[in-house]
């Protein structure tokens, strides 16, 4: 038998739960609306909301969805929002079609 795993094999580390009060996440948006992306630049602030289908999305000041948030802590953030917390996503970089945001509580 070769390899360093022995009989137990590989075990992934446990996922850290998102802290509703002090947690921040930097991630790339998914399912980006490129037309709306063209109207934004680094430094812009978006609201983080749960839409009608249950997806975690970023919404601009005109009520338009720029993109969705797909991250290991998405379910934690959704629970934090359901518990009454509010979050924003600051655009930190745009390299079309990629948009990177930093999510934090307000």
What mean pLDDT is predicted for residues 7-12? 49
Closest to 37 in 3D by CA, of 66, 5, 10, 6: 66
Residue 49 has pLDDT above 70, yes or no: yes
C-alpha triplet 81, 83, 88: angle, nearest 5°? 25
User: Topology of domain 25-105, per CATH?
Assistant: Alpha-Beta Plaits (3.30.70)
Residues in the chain: 106
pLDDT higher for 4 or 72?
72
Domain coordinates in residue numbering, the chain? 25-105
Residue 57 has pLDDT above 80, yes or no: yes
Closest to 15 in 3D by CA, of 7, 5, 23: 23
What mean pLDDT is predicted for residues 36-46? 97
* 56 confidence band (pLDDT: 50, 70, 90): very high
pLDDT at residue 12, rounded to an integer: 44
Residue 83 has pLDDT above 50, yes or no: yes
């Amino acid at each position: 038998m070769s390899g360093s795993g022995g009989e137990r094999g590989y075990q992934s580390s446990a996922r850290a739960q998102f802290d509703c009060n002090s947690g921040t996440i930097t991630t790339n948006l998914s399912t980006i609306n490129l037309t709306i992306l063209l109207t934004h630049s680094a430094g812009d602030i978006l609201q983080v909301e749960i839409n009608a289908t249950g997806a975690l999305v970023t919404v601009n000041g005109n009520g338009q969805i720029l993109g969705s948030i797909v991250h290991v802590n998405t379910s934690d953030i959704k629970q934090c929002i359901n518990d009454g917390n509010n979050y924003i996503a600051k655009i930190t970089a745009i390299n079309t079609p990629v948009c990177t945001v930093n999510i934090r509580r307000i």
